[in-house]
Homo-oligomer: A and B are copies of this chain.
Amino acid sequence: MSTTEAAPARRGRPGYDRDGMLAVIVEAFNDHGYDATSLGIIAQRLGLSKSAVYHHFSSKEEMLELALEKALGSLQEVFDAPEAASGPIDMRIRHVLRGAVTVACGQLPYLTLLLRLRGNTDVERRAMQRRRELDQRLRRLFELARDDDSVRDDIDPGLAERLTFGMVNSIVEWYRPEGPLSPEQLADAVVAFVRSGLRVSETRDFR
């Protein structure tokens, strides 16, 4: 898993930019857990000395913050887009779902890092707080949808949000960019699933 993605063939050579370094670092965080990833491990993976690493990043916390920003900033953009702010509520939800799936596929290691945080440092706690605020924004959309009767009223908007994000977030567990499914196809499938479920039959007589 750790060797297939981000494959930085130029490990430690000139031309290794900060983003490229961050990709290697986040891989180390995901393999060992943030707490257990020493600067020694990071320097070794980058093929650099510790002091060379410190030339680019002031601390391990700064690396974490930058890595988390990739996931959180991208998700925030999705929610801040005009398509999420106005128009029929159903289309606003669709925009957010498609955007969240696209972020999951495109920022996969960074979202993985975000989802596995344990909250042991301030940086982690701030990121978890931002994640909760985004959760609440999806919940708010489901509340609006319930208010205009476009979603079922037997599933609480908070529960709908949790199950929906649970489904979307699970994508990081198995999605591989080199696999058969494009992010767009996956986004279509998730939107379809969330909207109308898996059944062909439209009857709702048993539950």
Copies in the complex: 2
Residues of A65-120 whose CB lies within 8 A of B: 90-91, 94
Nearest-Cβ distance from residue A79 to partner chain B, whole angstroms: 18
Interface size on A, residues (CB 8 A): 48
| Contact status A154-B192, CB under 8 Å | yes
Nearest-Cβ distance from residue A127 to partner chain B, whole angstroms: 15
Main secondary structure of the interface of A (DSSP, over half): helix
**Known contacts A169-B170, A207-B188; is A151 also within 8 Å of B196 by CB?**
no
A18: B residues at CB distance < 8 A: none
- Which one, B94, B174, B207, contacts A162 given CB within 8 A? B174
Could you give, for residues 26-65 of chain A, a 1 whenever the CB lies within 8 Å of some chain B CB and a 0 otherwise?
A: 0000000100100000000000000000000000000000
A200: B residues at CB distance < 8 A: 149-153
